Structure 1
Amino acid sequence: MVPDLLLIALAIALDPLPVMSFVLVLGSARGVWKGLVFILSWLACLVVVIVLVLAVTGGQPPAPRSPPSTAVLAAKLLIGVLLIVYGGHRHRRAIAAARDRGAGPGPGTGGGTDPGVARADGQASSARLTERTDRITAWAAAGLAVLLQPWGLVAAGATTVLEADTSHLSAWFVLFCFCLLATAGLLAVELYVVFSPVRAKVRLLRLRAWLAGHQEQALVTICLVLGCWLMGKSIYQLTG
């Protein structure tokens, strides 16, 4: 259970979409406070999922080779397959998008965009985005954290929590580490803004731009690695 949970928590923490949105929340008016609300809402989702799972199992894992244990492994196998399929779909879509961009109108065809116009449009879009994020309320930040939660990865974590034996203190420690690691990226960004606000503003904007350019690669890698791990381990336990 321990390596599975920690790997899933790391995958949740490395998901670029929540981090990109979190940076926008921090860049809004009273962003530190809204960022804290975002983190608390994010953490509450994880805690609620764990509590619901433990309420179902009573804190006792199903017996090995029993029908519930087999069902848990089958669910984990299904999630692994779905992650691989989703990762493959994102990869094919990224390749198709890159191919479409490469096949765009060439010079002299009338389809080009003047660099000055493109720069002006980019600045106008940035200004509109800043204006919209400044209007984000604390409640909206909390709702955003719920919507951006990578629920597929959380579901994988839930099937792993089913194996937790809460009669041992170590199980509670592992669950605590799961929540902490899954929230570590957001906490690090929040603390950076609190203790170094001026420097953080510039670097976080660069981070968001970098994530925007690499989010597809990151999502595909996370889905494929975690999906292969869950599928391989589930097959081994089902057939071993």
Structure 2
Amino acid sequence: MVVDLVVIGTAITLGPLHNSAFILLLASRRGVRKGLAFLLSWLANLAVVVACVVLLTGGKPPAPHSPPSTAADAAKLAFGVGLAAYGVYRYRRPPRPHRPPSWTGRVDNASIVTSASLAWVLQPWGLVGAGAATVVDADLSSLTDWFALAGYCVLATLSLLVMEVYSVRAPAAAQARLDALRSSLERNQDRLIIILSLTVGLWLMGRSIADLVA
């Protein structure tokens, strides 16, 4: 479970869409406050998903090869196939000129509530769902698993946290460097999505198939 959560959490934190949006928020009026609202909402989303799964399982992993365990492995396999298929689709799709989403022009006037809501909209739900299927194996009687769940949520939020802290500590330098980062993310958006989707998708497929046939 721990390795799977590290792979999924890393893919979430490296996603180009939400990172680009977060940089735009930081560059807007009251950007640090908007960024904090986005960051906390993003983290709360992950925590809520983890909490819901733990409540459903009672904090105890299902017995190997039991119906709940098989269902969780099947769900991970489905998420893996979906992510891999999406990566292949993005790879085979003809190149398109990059056009910023229509909402980017309204970021300056966005409220704190809107900024927080944007985090839920931009959450990569396929990866979050894969994380939820993985959390089924968490054993809350183990301190290691507690740390793994907390670490997963923090890892999936790490890029936002680093940019927020950087903007607070060195706002002038942060704005220039984050603008350059956003430009790079936008230029390489398709490539990043393909790499992350295929990497996580193939990883989940291999792990879930191994668990199902073991």
TM over 0.5: yes
Q: CA deviation at 1:132?
A: 2.2
Matches within 5 A, 1:106-185: 132-185=106-159
SS at match of 1:166: coil
Corresponding residue for residue 227 of structure 1? 201
Q: CA deviation at 1:15?
A: 0.3
Corresponding residue for residue 106 of structure 1? none
Within 1, Cα distance between the matches of 2:28 and 2:132? 33
Q: CA deviation at 1:67?
A: 1.1
Corresponding residue for residue 65 of structure 2? 65
When normalised by structure 1's length, the TM-score is: 0.85
Within 2, Cα distance between the matches of 1:179 and 1:11? 12
Within 2, Cα distance between the matches of 1:8 and 1:130? 27
The residue type equivalent to 2:77 in the other structure is L
Within 2, Cα distance between the matches of 1:15 and 1:202? 20
Within 2, Cα distance between the matches of 1:129 and 1:78? 32
2:180 is aligned with 1:206: yes
SS at match of 1:97: coil
Q: How many residues align?
A: 212
2:95 is aligned with 1:97: yes
The residue type equivalent to 1:160 in the other structure is T
Q: CA deviation at 1:65?
A: 1.1
Asked whether the 8 Å contact 1:27–1:133 carries over to 2, the reply is no
Against the structure 1 CA distance between its residues 61 and 3, is the aligned structure 2 distance closer, same or farther, given a 3 Å change threshold? same
When normalised by structure 2's length, the TM-score is: 0.95
SS at match of 2:59: coil
Within 1, Cα distance between the matches of 2:105 and 2:135? 41
Against the structure 1 CA distance between its residues 219 and 131, is the aligned structure 2 distance closer, same or farther, given a 3 Å change threshold? closer
Corresponding residue for residue 191 of structure 1? 165
Q: CA deviation at 1:239?
A: 1.1
The residue type equivalent to 1:155 in the other structure is G
The residue type equivalent to 1:175 in the other structure is L
Within 2, Cα distance between the matches of 1:25 and 1:196? 16
Corresponding residue for residue 191 of structure 2? 217
The residue type equivalent to 1:158 in the other structure is A
SS at match of 2:188: helix
Asked whether the 8 Å contact 1:28–1:130 carries over to 2, the reply is no
Within 2, Cα distance between the matches of 1:190 and 1:47? 19
Question: Percent identity between the aligned chains?
Answer: 50
Within 1, Cα distance between the matches of 2:76 and 2:154? 22
Within 2, Cα distance between the matches of 1:66 and 1:129? 46
Corresponding residue for residue 213 of structure 2? 239
Q: CA deviation at 1:130?
A: 7.7
2:22 is aligned with 1:48: no
SS at match of 2:65: coil
Corresponding residue for residue 114 of structure 1? none
Deviation sequence 1:71-105 (CA, Å, 0-9, x none): 11111111100001111111111xx126xx8xxxx
Within 2, Cα distance between the matches of 1:26 and 1:69? 42
Q: Which runs of 5+ in 1 are unaligned?
A: 102-124
The residue type equivalent to 1:178 in the other structure is Y
Within 2, Cα distance between the matches of 1:24 and 1:131? 10
2:8 is aligned with 1:12: no
Matches within 5 A, 1:66-81: 66-81=66-81
Moved over 3 A (4+): 128-131
The residue type equivalent to 1:57 in the other structure is T
